[in-house]
Structure 1
Amino acid sequence: MTTSTPYAVFGVSGRTGAATADALLRSGQPVRVVVRDPAKGRPWAARGAEVAVADATDLAAMTRALVDVRSAYVINPQHYHREDLFELAGLIADTTARAAVAASVPRLVALSSVGADRESGTGWITMNRVFEQRLAATGIPTVFLRAAYFMENWAPLVAQAMRSGVLPTFLAPPQRAIPMVATVDVGSAAAAWLRDDGKESRAVSVSGPAAYAPTDVAAIVSAKLGKAVDIAVLPESEWAAALAQASFSKAALAGFTEMTRALNRSHIDMASDASAVAWSGTTALEAVIARLCAQS
C-alpha cells in the first residue's frame, strides 16, 4: 500500500542510494531524497521526489531532513582523500544517530558491510562497524545491510583488461570465490526492508545469486574480447602504485591494505556472524561485467 509519508533516502548521488530511491519510486512510493548539493536533487524532483538538503555533519539540517518520514535509508559516506576519514566517519555516525533520535524516526535501514561484525583487522570496514554501533545505541529499530564485495568494484580493473588483455586483481588466490553483489540489488534490498514494518534490529547479509572468483571476471571479459585474458595477482608491495590514480590519503591506503589482506585471509567472511539474515539478489556477475566492458 502506498503511504503519503515519505521514505527518506540518503546517498542518491552514489550507487546504492540511487538504486534504493529508484526502486521505491518505481513501486509508486513517496520518496524524500537527501542531498548535500541541491543540483543533485533536481533529477529526483523531476521524478516526483521531495528534496531535502543536508550536510552529513550538520545536526540541525540532518534532523530537518528526517522529520516526518516512515523510515530512512542512511549511509556513512567515506572520504578516501582525507587523512581523518575514520574520525570524520565517526562524526557522521554520531550526527546521523542524534538526528534520527531528534526527528523520532521510527525505523532505519543502514548500509554496512560484510565484516562489520569483526572487532578489528578490517581496515575501511571499521567505519561501518562504528556506524552500526552508534545507530544501535539509539534504540531505533535498524536493519544493517552488510553488503558483500560490490561487483562494480571491478570497473577500473575491467577497463585495464579490455585495453591490455590482462586483468589485475587484489584478490587472491584468483580461483577462490567470494560473495559479491550488484549495487542495484543492494538498492532492492534496502527498498524492501524500508517497507518492512518489523520492530526489531537485525543484520542482513546481502549477496548476489552466487559467489564469484577473479577467474570468473576474466572469463567474462575474455568472452567479450574474443581472446584469452590473463590474470595478474598484484602483490601487496604493488598496491600503492596500482591505486595511485585513486588519490587515496595515507590513512585510506592503509585502511584499504588491511581490508584487502583480511579478505584474502578470510578474516572478513559472510559466515562469521551466524545471526545475520541472508538475502540474495538476482543480478549475475555476467550482467555487471558485460556492462562494464561496454563502458570501457
Structure 2
Amino acid sequence: MTACFPHPYVVFGVTGRTGAAAADALLRSGLPVRVVVRDLAQGRPWAERGAEVAVADLTDLASMVAALSQAQGAYVVCPQHYQREDLFVRADLIATITARAAVAAEVPRLVALSSVGADRENGTGWIGMNRMFEQRLGATGVPTTFLRAAYFMENWMPMVGHAIHSGVLPTFLTPAERTIPMVATVDVGSAAAALLQEARKGSGVVTLSGPRDYAPNDVAALMSAALGTLVEVAELPEAAWPNALADAGFSPAALAGFTEMSRGLIGSHIDIKSDHAAIEWAGTTMLEHVIIELVRRQR
C-alpha cells in the first residue's frame, strides 16, 4: 500500500525576513513545507529542518509551475530590484509569471505579500509594484489573500547603524513626532502562515500593523535606552534625500519611486485604513524588541 503524504505549503522568499518567518511558523506547527530558492545551497538549512526544496527562477514559467505543483497553498512575494532602472518592468514580469504559474499548477489558494497603499491608483512610488502584483494575481481567479503590511520596523536598520556611530538618527518620515503604523517582519510571516491555513473562500485583503503606532522620536528613545546614551533625531528634508541614499545603490527610477512613496507616507496619502473593505489584523511584536535586536547586531 502506497503511503499518502499531505501536500506541502509552498513558501517563497525564505532568504528574506517574511518568507523565512512564514516557513518557520509552518514547520513549527508540524506542517509540510516546500521552500522555493534560487539555488540549492540556499535551501540546505530548510532541508535540514525537514522541508522540501524547490529551485525556481521567478521569471521562468516552467520552474515556477514545478515549484507550485501539488501544493495546499502558497505564500508568494514579488521582490523589488532597486538597483535596476527597469524595476517596474521586472516586477510586472515576476507578477505575470507568478500568476500564470499559479493557474497552471492549480494552486488552491495564495497568500500574497503586498503593502498598505496598494489600493491607491497613483502617488505611491514603490508600492505601485505591489498594486501590480495584486492586479495580476487577482485576474487569475485563484483565491488570494493580499497581505498588506505596514511600514516594516526593520526598515530602520540602516538608520540605527548610523545612530550607533554618530548619536544621530536620520529620518525621512517627518515630523518626527508623528506616528505611523509599523509592523515586525516576523509578524508578517506568522500572519501569512496563519492565513494559508484558513478555510476562507474567495479573495480579500488583510492589513497588518503592529500592536501600536510609532514615531521616529520613539525609535530614538528606544535606541537611547538600548545604548545608554542620548540619540537625537535629524529630520531630513526632501532635498537631502538623494545624498542620504547615495550608498544605497538605487537606480534613478528607484530613487524616484522612493521619493514618491515617502511623500505619500508623510502626506497620509498612503493610509492603512484607506481600504474600508480590508480586514484589520495586528501583530504582537513591539518595536523595542526589534530595535534592541538591530542594535545588538550592529554594535
TM-score (norm 1): 0.98
Aligned residue for 1:97?
99
Pair 1:173-2:175 in alignment: yes
**Cα offset for 1:86?**
0.1
Question: Quick one: which amino acid aligns to residue 119 of structure 2?
Answer: D
**Cα offset for 1:228?**
1.9
Question: Quick one: which amino acid aligns to residue 110 of structure 1?
Answer: A
Trace 1:247-286 onto structure 2 (pairs within 5 A): 247-286=249-288
SS of 2:247's equivalent?
Answer: helix
Give deviations 1:166-207, integer Å, cap 9, x for gaps: 110000011011000000000000000001111121100011
Aligned partners of 1:160 and 1:130: how far apart in 2?
33
Aligned residue for 1:51?
53
Which blocks of at least 5 consecutive residues in structure 1 are unaligned? none
Trace 1:75-90 onto structure 2 (pairs within 5 A): 75-90=77-92
Aligned residue for 1:227?
229
Aligned partners of 2:38 and 2:241: how far apart in 1?
32
Aligned residue for 1:25?
27
Question: Quick one: which amino acid aligns to residue 73 of structure 1?
Answer: Y
Aligned partners of 1:244 and 1:56: how far apart in 2?
29
Aligned partners of 2:21 and 2:294: how far apart in 1?
17
Aligned residue for 1:14?
16
**Cα offset for 1:238?**
1.1
**Cα offset for 1:227?**
2.3
**Cα offset for 1:229?**
1.4
Question: Quick one: which amino acid aligns to residue 47 of structure 1?
Answer: R
Give deviations 1:262-285, integer Å, cap 9, x for gaps: 100000000111111001000000
Q: Percent identity?
A: 69
Give deviations 1:50-85, integer Å, cap 9, x for gaps: 001100000011001101000000000110100000
Which blocks of at least 5 consecutive residues in structure 2 are unaligned? none
Aligned residue for 2:151?
149
Which residue, out of 290, 293, 298, partners 1:291? Answer: 293
SS of 1:220's equivalent?
Answer: helix
Question: Quick one: which amino acid aligns to residue 202 of structure 1?
Answer: G
Question: Quick one: which amino acid aligns to residue 282 of structure 1?
Answer: T
RMSD of the alignment, in Å? Answer: 0.7
Aligned partners of 2:135 and 2:198: how far apart in 1?
22
Pair 1:42-2:44 in alignment: yes
Aligned partners of 1:162 and 1:92: how far apart in 2?
37
SS of 1:34's equivalent?
Answer: strand
- Aligned pair count reads 294
SS of 1:52's equivalent?
Answer: strand
